[in-house]
Amino acid sequence: MNRRPFLKKLTVFSSAISTMPFITFGKTHFPLSPTLKFIIASDGHFGQPDTDFEKTHKELIEAIHLEENVDFVVFNGDLIHDEPKWMPEVKKVYDTLKVPYFPVKGNHDRISEKEWENIWGIPADYSFVSKEKYGFILANCSNQAGDYLCVNTEFLKKKLEDFKNLSHVFICIHISQNDWTKHGIACEEILEMIGSNPNVRAVFHGHDHDVDGIMLNKKKPYLWSGHFGGSWGSPHPGYRVCEVGENGNTVTYLKAMKDGMILSGHTI
């Protein structure tokens, strides 16, 4: 596979990064034989007024289809922009993907949990196992009013227990459960729970359109994906790729949607 060169980039979290970026002396270190590859795309805001949201979503779908060997995609919140009428419409767009996908509820996805399940066929709090050893927890952090919420502790606790024997667990939560970003919230119990589980490899967030870096809490990496839609945020709309190698080593990198340029990357 052709790998485009890194675009050197300073994020708002540069001073906090203690994981080793997988770029050394101009060379990238990707798994030689990935056993899992998934994509995180967040904040499409389908239906937002005065934005070309249809074009943006088409560009994302086209970019994903250029990726090789993708197992699935997670849309990490703010699928639509407030108006419930857009939810069935954005589903039609996602359904054109050639790979499976999973949605996560965000604060702009202002429909009830019942409506969410009726449309998507899964509850707003959901989990699944991929290839018998990779656990994924998709946790709801908002409601129909769009409030910022801590995730359901009982749900998270149960799923972490269910997945305790898996080699890797990945968690997707739209809103950061720590107030280290402008739009995050303080949920210490959630952070403690995540930090106490050795096999949690990463937590993925959306929501903060202008944040696409990494932070550590209790040695766990928390990663943002910027945005691919909406009217504000990073000047490089894009998505995050995560690959797990045969030896269990995991890398993640952010790609610009426009030209596939790799903007930043880390081992996790």
What CATH number did the domain enclosing 191 receive? 3.60.21.10
Is residue 20 in a domain? no
Beta bridge partners of 254: 240, 264
Quick check: 4 pLDDT over 60? no
Contact 109, 80 (CB under 8 A): yes
Number of domains, the chain: 1
- Kindly report, residue by residue over 96-127, the tens digit of the pLDDT: 999 999 999 999 999 999 999 999 999 999 99
Residue 85: closest CA among 114, 51, 60, 119: 119
Three-state SS at 240: strand
Tokens of 255: 């790609």
Is residue 5 in a domain? no
- Kindly report, residue by residue over 20-63, the tens digit of the pLDDT: 333 332 344 778 789 999 999 999 999 999 999 999 999 999 99
Q: Which domain holds residue 226?
A: 33-267
- How far is residue 16 from each of residues 12, 29, 92, 175, measured CA to CA in Å? 9, 22, 39, 19
Is residue 170 in a domain? yes
d(CA 261, CA 42): 18
Is residue 27 in a domain? no
Is residue 10 in a domain? no
Is residue 11 in a domain? no
Q: What is the mean pLDDT of residues 211-236?
A: 96
d(CA 37, CA 39): 7
Is residue 184 in a domain? yes
Is residue 22 in a domain? no
Q: Which residue has the tokens 């050394």?
A: 24
- Whole-model pTM? 0.90
